[in-house]
Every structure is written in C-alpha cells, then in structure tokens.
Amino acid sequence: MGTLLSSHGFSLFLLWTFTLYGLCLSFSPIDNYLINSGASLDSVVDNRRFISDSSNSPDSHLSSGRTFSLCAGTLLPGLPQIYHTARVFNSPSKYVFNVKDPGTHMVRLHFHRFNSSRLDLGNSRFHVLVNGLVALTNFSGGDLVNPKVEIRFVPAKKSNFAFVNAIEVISAPKDLVLETAQYVNGDKIEEFQGLNKQAFETMYRVTVGGPKVTPFNDSLWRTWIPDDEYLKSSEGSNKVYFGGRIKYQDGGASREVGPDNVYDSARLIRSKNASIPNVNLTWEFPVSEDYKYLVRMHFCDIASISLGLLYFNVYVNEHLAYKDLDLSDVTNYMLASPFYADFVVDAGRSGVITVSVGPSSKSMGYTVDAILNGVEIMKMNNSVCSLDGKVPAELIMKCWPRRTLGILLPLIALACLLLSLSAIVHRRKSNAELFPWSKLPTDIHEISPKQAKLQLSNIVT
C-alpha cells in the first residue's frame, strides 16, 4: 500500500466548488471524517488531515469499553504516520459518525499490523461490522432521522483483541452507483434492479495499459493498479497513452467514476490492413465463488483518428455482454469522452471472472477494433447481507465471543466499502428486525495484487 505515501503540496479537496465543468479535480464530500486511531496528534496524508481519536479530543467519535493506544515505537520507513499508531480494542467497541448527507458513503479502514514491544498486532482476531446491527438510532418509521455510520470492532474471543489504524467515512458522489445494471446470466442479459441497495467490496480496481494511479491522482482517493498481471492474451494488444484532455460530459462517466489517469491509457486491438485480427483481449480475475459481482468496465476512445470507426464486442465470463459497442454513439459523438458499463455476474465455475473485448461484425480494417481503459470488480453482499461468509451480523453481535476469523496475513490491509444510508432507511421501514445496512460499491484491499488475493477471505467488513 505505498499509495497514500505522496506528500506533495496539492490538495484534492480544498475548495468547495460548484463548477459543473472544467478541469477541476476537487470532489468535496459533505461528510468527510478522517480518523487517526490511537494517535494523540492529528496527521496529514496527501493534504488530508486525520484527526486524533484520543479521548481528550472533542471529535474522537469513539465510544467503547476497553481500548488503548498503541505506538509502533520504531520507524516504519515509507509509511505515513497514520500507520505508526493503532487503537486496540479489548471488547466490542464502535466509532460513530453523524452523517449530514444521507446518501451513499464510502468507508475505508486502514490496518497495519505492526509489532511493538508491548503487543504484536499480528495476534489480533476480530470482526468489524459497519452499520451491521444498529445503523439508525431512534428511527421511527420513516420520519426524518439522523442517519449514522457505525463501525463496530468485535474481538473474536474474550482473550482476543481488535485494532485499527485509521478510518475514513466520506459521502460518495451521487452518480457513483446507478440503480440498474445488466445481469449477464449465462447467455441471457437481464436487468438487475436495486443495484444501489447492495453492499459492495472492491476486489480489483485496475487501470489498463497505464501506470498505477495513486490516491493523490484520484478524486475519491482510490488506488488503481496496472492490469499486466491479469491480462491473459497479449496477442494483438497494443498499449496506448493519450496526452490530451479527457472530455467529461454531464450524464456520462464523471471524474469521480474514473479519473483522467485511468481514461488516458488503454490497451487495444488494431488492424493495420484490411483484415480484422481474429483475437480477443482477455483479463482474468480470481474471486471467491458463491457471490455475485459487479463488473464495471471503463472505456474512452483515445485512439481512433475519427468518430464512428470503432465497434467491438464486450464479453463477461465468455458471454456476450455488449454487442457492437459504439463509443462514438454512447458519448454523443465525442472522442476521448469516458463511458462505463456495469454488469452483474455470478463468479464463474472456476472462481474466476473473465472480461474480454474483441472485434465485432461491424469492426473495420485499418482502425482500432477493441479498447479497454479500466476494470473494477466488486463483490456484492450475499443474502445474509455479508461480504465474508454466511454468518449474519446479528449472530456475530449476539454471540460475542463467537466466530473466529483468519488473521490478516499481509502487513497492510485497506478495507473500503460504500454504504447506502437510503437503503438502510428502506430496510428499516420494511422490517425492523432485519439489520439495516447496505454497503455500496467500493474499493478494498488497496495493496499489491498478490496480497489482495491472500486477503480476500481474511478481511471482515
């Protein structure tokens, strides 16, 4: 996770801006809580101030029985200050954040298991519930409420403990998740309704053909890793980089959906003569089975010399998901204008999700015949509203101490999810017994891909 490391003097969200267009990188979340857990002082990362959660701080947001602060003691080279301290929880504990903007929220939890002389964080064992059981207090049947984001840390056993290094709770842009997506169900394409009521955990966030994009260059402080490791067929593939301006348009993919640095690079299939290459570009992503996934594919025609020349097919899990995609048409006839498509799929039989792009029957010679700029793969909550196993939050809370979970293997984990507070309200209305949360598309595991794989089953969110 060398991604929060940049410390240059450039703020992504200093301004409150009402500019609807232009080259403004700033996204200004209404709710923007950044917590430096276990630290006595605030800490600034990429010009974002993480506030100390110590009890004498008025903004600690922490309510808990038994906790203490832990300091790494030694220098952790290359890691921001927020990873040098942690708050350790000996009993179920929670942070609560009041929300002014009742929409989708993004939650990032930072974990770094350092070993201090006092305690080895590698020995921790815990559950984390985000709005797992009590998302709203004093909710009374649909009237205006004060929604909250509540993050609970639950040690797996009495003798265990939990910890966290830093927490972010940020209201997400309204256009980040739409209501529907195409459900690629075998060879059938169906409408998937209520997308914005689901919880999501990002498994992969990949920029195609370009270098890693760090939180510094992403308006939602995300990390996009390069695609090389996932590309299965490099035959016919060319990388392309675009030095011009990405033309964001109202109603299209916004800069918050994908930053310039993702859309300005791609891989493509190009025909140099009259014959169209008979190849696909294919990427493979290992995932855990038994879940549905949201596959968001990012496109931007940064390579065609003029409009109306690029037609291609998009496949998800080897099924035709988008036939004859015409980027000129979907972007109101503008080159270098971003577009994304959302597909819901079940994990493939082998625990792999594949995405491919390839020439279609409308593809032409002497032109670009397929392109992809970015992919995100997000795990969706299962029917017990879990992103990690079949134990619902109610049980975890009721039976503390209870379920044991694998410890986090790698040093740093970054769990990130989005929750929709409006979804919470809906659920509460319909069934007060059911627990009231729904997380929305997200990003998690913003670390190196190898570590991410190890972690899939190990992070509780």
Q: Which residues bind ligand NAG (CB under 6 A)?
A: 6, 115, 117, 120, 122, 137-138, 197-199, 214, 216-217, 261, 272-275, 278-280, 292, 315, 318, 356, 358, 380-383, 385, 427, 438
CB of 185 to ligand NAG, least distance (A): 13
CB of 353 to ligand NAG, least distance (A): 13
CB of 128 to ligand NAG, least distance (A): 17
CB of 226 to ligand NAG, least distance (A): 13
**Judged by CB, which is closer to ligand NAG: 228, or 318?**
318
CA–CA dist 215, 323 (Å, integer) = 34
CA–CA dist 287, 456 (Å, integer) = 8
**Judged by CB, which is closer to ligand NAG: 242, or 315?**
315
**Judged by CB, which is closer to ligand NAG: 42, or 318?**
318
Strands 93-98, 62-64: pairing is antiparallel
CB of 113 to ligand NAG, least distance (A): 9
**Judged by CB, which is closer to ligand NAG: 205, or 427?**
427
Encoded tokens for 431: 């069934």
CA–CA dist 104, 88 (Å, integer) = 28
Contact criterion met (CB below 8 Å) for 102 and 132:
no
**Judged by CB, which is closer to ligand NAG: 52, or 294?**
294
**Judged by CB, which is closer to ligand NAG: 11, or 332?**
11
**Judged by CB, which is closer to ligand NAG: 52, or 218?**
218
Residues 6+ apart with CB under 8 A from 458: 405, 406, 407, 408, 409, 413
3-state secondary structure of 287: coil
Residue whose structure tokens are 């503008």: 334
CA–CA dist 245, 125 (Å, integer) = 47
CB of 99 to ligand NAG, least distance (A): 14
CB of 109 to ligand NAG, least distance (A): 20
**Judged by CB, which is closer to ligand NAG: 162, or 385?**
385
CB of 460 to ligand NAG, least distance (A): 17
What would the DSSP string read from start to end of 28-57?
A: --SSEEEEETT-SS-EEETTEEEEE--TTS
**Omega of the bond prior to 436 within 30 degrees of 0, cis?**
no
CA–CA dist 377, 342 (Å, integer) = 10
Contact criterion met (CB below 8 Å) for 29 and 236:
no
Q: Where are the beta strands (DSSP E) in 43-147?
A: 43-45, 48-52, 62-64, 67-71, 85-89, 93-98, 104-112, 126-130
